[in-house]
Amino acid sequence: MLSTILKGFAVSGGLIMAIGAQNAFVLKQGLLRQHTFWVASICFICDFVFISAGVMGVGGILSKSPLLSALLSLAGGVFLFWYGFNSLRSALSTEQHTLVAQTENSNQGSLKTTILGVLAVTLLNPHVYVDTLMLIGGIAATLSNSDKIWFLLGALSASFIWFFGLSYGARLLRPIFANPRAWKILETLIGIGMWWLAWGLFHYFYRWLMTSL
């Protein structure tokens, strides 16, 4: 039982901790102290739904539909390109210092806007479906029905600890990000990372398109 829980924890944690649009969004909101509870909760709830579905075998639908995978890749690529563009634009902006000045008492960003943002970086990212439904689901498929429950418990525990830890732990990095240059570096790294992921998704869609013609 314990080994199965730890296996689920390790697999889920390894996939979730990879730097991506979702983690970048969570980190940034945590640094700004804007709606951190809701950001972490929504990320965990989405993981709860997708990981549970993957462990129960729903991931097979995605793996058997090249068209759906391709469309998700295209949508995700467009979103990640837009997200990366905004990050790079923010990094190059001469008004970057205003963001730092607002971190102590910032009211910017309504709850509705934040919720829509976290849903976008989660649901429009094809890697979320691949990781939770296909990869985690594929590993869980090798387990017995009773072990799947313990595996799921471990996987969800990793998700809960990571997102709430990142959301509330980000404030420990605030002294570093009191320097405007640190924000510029963060935004630049996020932008480059998002464009790199977008390129991969566009390439996947292009290969699917070429084989379908």
Question: Model confidence over 158-192: pLDDT tens digits?
Answer: 999 999 998 998 888 777 777 778 778 877 877 88
Tokens representing 186 are 């963060």
Higher per-residue confidence, 152 vs 67: 152
- Kindly list the domain boundaries of the chain, sorted by start residue: 2-212
SS3 66: helix
Mean of the per-residue pLDDT values of the chain:
80
Both tokens of residue 47? 């993981």
What confidence tens digit (pLDDT) does each residue in 115-165 have? 988 898 888 777 787 778 777 777 787 778 888 899 999 999 999 999 999
pTM: 0.69
What is the pLDDT confidence band of residue 46, given thresholds at 50, 70 and 90? very high
Position of tokens 């924890």? Answer: 9
Residue 60 pLDDT class (50, 70, 90 cuts): low
pLDDT over 70 percentage in the chain:
84
User: How large is the average pLDDT for residues 49-72?
Assistant: 75
Which residues have a Cβ under 8 Å from the Cβ of 37 and sit 6 or more positions away?
167
d(CA 90, CA 88) in angstroms, rounded, equals 5
- Please check the confidence at residue 57 and state whether its pLDDT lies above 50: yes
pLDDT digits (tens, 9 = 90+) for 76-113: 678 778 878 887 887 787 654 444 444 444 555 688 88
Can you give the pLDDT at residue 42? 95
Angle between helix 145-169 and helix 36-55 axes, rounded to 10 deg: 160
Among the listed residues 65, 74, 76, 82, the one whose alpha carbon sits nearest the alpha carbon of residue 209: 74
More confident residue, 207 or 125: 207
Select from 47, 49, 41, 53 the least CA-distant residue to 15. 47
Q: What are phi and psi of 91, to 5 degrees?
A: -65, -35
Nearest to 187 by CA among 96, 80, 104, 77: 96
